[in-house]
Chains A and B, each alone.
Chain A
Amino acid sequence: MAGLALQNEIRGMEVMKRVRLHTAWEMWGAAALVLLTLSSAVAQEQANTSQILTLQVVETNRIDISQKSLTLVINQASLESGSPVEAVNEDGMLVWLTNGENKKVTVASNNPSPRFLVKMRALDITGGSGSAAADAILNDNTTKDLITGISKSFGRSKVHMAASATVSNGVGTETYTITYTITGG
């Protein structure tokens, strides 16, 4: 009996020795893996630098007219009425840009009491926003609406300009400076 117990004890010790050996191998493997990972991380060098950047956009409105000078000539009369036929020009192209909201384009003449009648309106508006106002009649030098309801857009339109005269106005020449403005609506 004592011999059998001794044999069992020896066998148990051998098993324990194998288990310890196996555990040791596993630990060595894990350590090697950690070392490998660390070494590859160290091998790749990185460096950083940084900046703070501020991009500010303030309200900007721009407007331009393609035709800087134009001449309207009234040189025909209606056979029916006998009155002079109005002269029309639609060659001018108005372009604008605004990043503000609720804007409008206005027009004003520098002539406070014109002899002949000039009226104008916007045609073929493109650009996503803006509507043509009623005919602006330049019968004084006050500001009139040409396009309303423009918000955060860029666009263009033709400018329809018509000049008319009555027989009693006689003949002559008038020069106007017409100013287009994009402004708060």
Chain B
Amino acid sequence: MHIFANLRNSLRCQSVVLLPISLIFLLLMPSCLFAQASHAAKVTVPNLAVVSVSSGVVSLAINGTGVVAGVDPMTVTSQATTLSWGANTSTAKIAVKTSLALQKYTLTVQAININGVPTSTGISAPVVTLTTTSQDFMTGIGLKRGTCTLLYTGIAPASKGTGTDTHTTITFTITN
């Protein structure tokens, strides 16, 4: 009995001491059992700009179709090709120019059916008469991607007679 009494007392004393220690251990256990580490991840997105036409070749012909007697100049249009773009700065714009310096006929281009993502709001697309000097074709395209139809219009006054203008390179440049 004495032995058992001593043992009980001993256990009681130990439990008084061990219980708080166990609680503290349990509370601190996660930090004790799991190691942690970290590193810095840096994502850099530079200025990005892409532009592309759906076809590299466009043909326009004034051949009498739609020409009205007494109405000058004669015109012809093409909506056969589209332009796609993407730009990630707010100031992005697209300019256009031709390589043909001496043109017999007038050629204009305008972006129509503009489909901007997330929105087409704020995009401006004037009619541009093509020259060898780069001119604004679409502005307000920043932070957007999208597509548009290229509306080319060939304008030939009767006084210019017959002939062919070959614009070897009509260049669309997106600046971001």
Point out residues on A near B: beta carbons under 8 Å: 42-64, 95-101, 128, 152-156
Instruction: Flag if B46 contacts A45 (CB, 8 Å).
Output: yes
Instruction: Flag if B72 contacts A53 (CB, 8 Å).
Output: no
Q: Which chain B residues numbered 49 to 78 have a C-beta less than 8 Å away from chain A?
A: 49-53, 55-64, 67-72, 74, 76
Instruction: Flag if A55 contacts B160 (CB, 8 Å).
Output: no
Instruction: Flag if A58 contacts B63 (CB, 8 Å).
Output: yes
Nearest-CB residue, chain B, relative to A150: B158
Partner of B67, one of A50, A51, A54, A62: A62
Set of chain B residues within 8 Å of A99, measured between Cβ atoms: 74, 156-162
Interface of B is mostly: strand
Instruction: Flag if B56 contacts A95 (CB, 8 Å).
Output: no
User: Complex formed: what's the CA distance from A126 to B70 in Å?
Assistant: 11
Known A-B contacts A45-B47, A60-B63, A152-B159; the reply to A53 vs B69 at CB < 8 A is: no
Instruction: Flag if B70 contacts A55 (CB, 8 Å).
Output: no
Q: Which chain B residues numbered 142 to 158 have a C-beta less than 8 Å away from chain A?
A: 152, 154, 156-158
Interface of A is mostly: strand
Instruction: Flag if B173 contacts A154 (CB, 8 Å).
Output: no
Instruction: Flag if A60 contacts B174 (CB, 8 Å).
Output: no
Set of chain B residues within 8 Å of A54, measured between Cβ atoms: 58-60, 164-167
Set of chain A residues within 8 Å of B69, measured between Cβ atoms: 62-64, 95-97, 154
Of all A-B residue pairs in the complex, the 4 with the closest CB atoms, nearest first, are A95-B70, A62-B69, A45-B47, A64-B69
Instruction: Flag if B57 contacts A52 (CB, 8 Å).
Output: yes
Instruction: Flag if B169 contacts A52 (CB, 8 Å).
Output: yes
User: Complex formed: what's the CA distance from A97 to B61 in Å?
Assistant: 17
B175 to nearest A CB, angstroms? 5
Partner of A53, one of B60, B64, B156: B60
Instruction: Flag if A45 contacts B64 (CB, 8 Å).
Output: no
Instruction: Flag if A55 contacts B105 (CB, 8 Å).
Output: yes
B158 to nearest A CB, angstroms? 5
Known A-B contacts A45-B47, A99-B74; the reply to A52 vs B63 at CB < 8 A is: no
Partner of B170, one of A43, A52, A154: A52
A69 to nearest B CB, angstroms? 18
